[in-house]
Structure 1
Amino acid sequence: MTSVLLYLHGFNSSPGSAKAQQMAAWVAANRPDIEAIIPAQPNTPAATWAAIEQTIANLQERYSSGFKLGAVGSSLGGFMATRVSERYGCRAVLINPAVRPHELLCDYLGPQTNPYSGEQYDLLPEHIEELTMLAVPVTAPERLWVLQQQGDEVLDYRKARDEYCFAHLSLECGGNHAFVAFERYPAQIVRFLGL
């Protein structure tokens, strides 16, 4: 059975982010049997979720006999990876995940520029409502592993610690939102995902 690792980047990020590239490089060098998919996601929440569902639908069509899915998500991608885990019953690794992003992103309403793509767009109140609608309760915390650094300057690590209190949690002192020394983790991530 084919194994697929779906990596979901965060808000105003891209497949070119350091963690996404480190994950892809490790898989290519050490587990070429795994198909690593790192899609460029739309800038708004409902469009992002629709794109994720389409990506998985394409995989289901391509691998009609089945495939094993594992998700990795960073920041807002961690929020989306939680939804993937709940919707598709797969394991997920969440890196400095955004918790209740509908509250967090209220501070970012207005014009935005993605620093990777240069794309400009407006983050609107309806996008905050989309995030609220996309939130899901965690019903299977054993399928989740949270990698969290206390030095995250963007997100309060305590929110993730509390939200995912029954999940597997690796909480590190120091670090930052980009997750310092992420290159230590790809092998462990793949093992946790069961790929």
Structure 2
Amino acid sequence: MSASILYIHGFNSAPASNKACQLITVMDSLGLADQLRVPALHHHPRQAIAQLEQAISEMGRPLLVGSSLGGYYATHLAERHGLNALLVNPAVSPHRMFDGYLGTQKNLYTDETWELTHDHVAALAELEVPAPQDAQRYQVWLQTGDETLDYRLAQQYYRACALRIQAGGDHGYQGFARQLPALLSFAGISSDQYQSFDFAAL
């Protein structure tokens, strides 16, 4: 499948998240729905990675678009398979952030409750890879107003990659819809297919 996109949502998120819905709307409107996958990921990292590996095997060489924890997953998979990745406010070493957060969690979109355990944290640690060095394969979009993750951690970790840092914003990445043409271009979708689309209306 050519010019395909695999969207990887974040921690306690879902395909119903704002960014995912905007991307789904665009791809549907362009008649490219079959070139997009937005899986609902299991909360356990090992099962989530298995889901994503299956999607990659079916899609060929998709662009990985990862948000927050999804950016961490995307980095692991991009390094393993030599894929391109676009990361939106990605988490860096998330296993180091969960001290004190073990216990009951609730998905923000599905209301599913589950237990975050030491095994989840260990599974996240297993996915860590050395900082990517191939600037051509990575775009990293950061907003300095991210209230959940310190953007400077990603700025440092991904320093060899193509960084796009915007002042302000938030963890959800304000103005994502306006940046979608750059995402589609990075995925290999011709601008002829979306130049007349009104991204501001999303």
TM-score normalised by L of structure 2: 0.88
Residues 73-123 of structure 1 show CA distances to partners (whole Å, capped at 9, x for unaligned) of 000000011112112211110000000000112342110111211111100
Query: Corresponding residue for 1:155?
Result: 149
What amino acid is the match of 1:81?
A
Distance 2:102 2:64 in 1: 28
Query: Corresponding residue for 1:96?
Result: 89
What amino acid is the match of 1:20?
A
Are 1:78 and 2:71 matched, yes or no? yes
Gaps of 5+ in 2: 190-202
What is the root-mean-square deviation of aligned Cα atoms in Å?
1.6
Distance 1:55 1:190 in 2: 19
Distance 2:34 2:47 in 1: 26
Distance 2:69 2:178 in 1: 22
- SS of 1:146 mapped into structure 2: strand
Query: Corresponding residue for 2:167?
Result: 173
Higher relative CO (Cα under 8 Å, sequence separation at least 6) belongs to: 1
Maintained 8 Å contact 2:143/2:166? yes
Give, in angstroms, the shift of residue 185 of structure 1.
1.2
Decide which of 80, 102, 123 is 1:109's aligned counterpart.
102
Could you say if the C-alpha distance between residues 31 and 139 of structure 1 is closer, same or farther in structure 2, counting changes exceeding 3 Å? Answer: farther
Query: Corresponding residue for 1:11?
Result: 11
Give, in angstroms, the shift of residue 168 of structure 1.
0.4
Maintained 8 Å contact 1:79/1:97? yes
Aligned residues: 188
Give, in angstroms, the shift of residue 141 of structure 1.
3.6
Maintained 8 Å contact 1:9/1:76? yes
Query: Corresponding residue for 1:24?
Result: 24
Maintained 8 Å contact 2:133/2:160? no
Distance 1:9 1:107 in 2: 23
What amino acid is the match of 1:183?
A
Distance 1:161 1:10 in 2: 19
TM-score normalised by L of structure 1: 0.91
Identity %: 39
Query: Corresponding residue for 2:198?
Result: none
- 1:136-147 equivalent positions in 2, closer than 5 A: 136-137=129-130, 138-147=132-141
Distance 2:19 2:100 in 1: 25
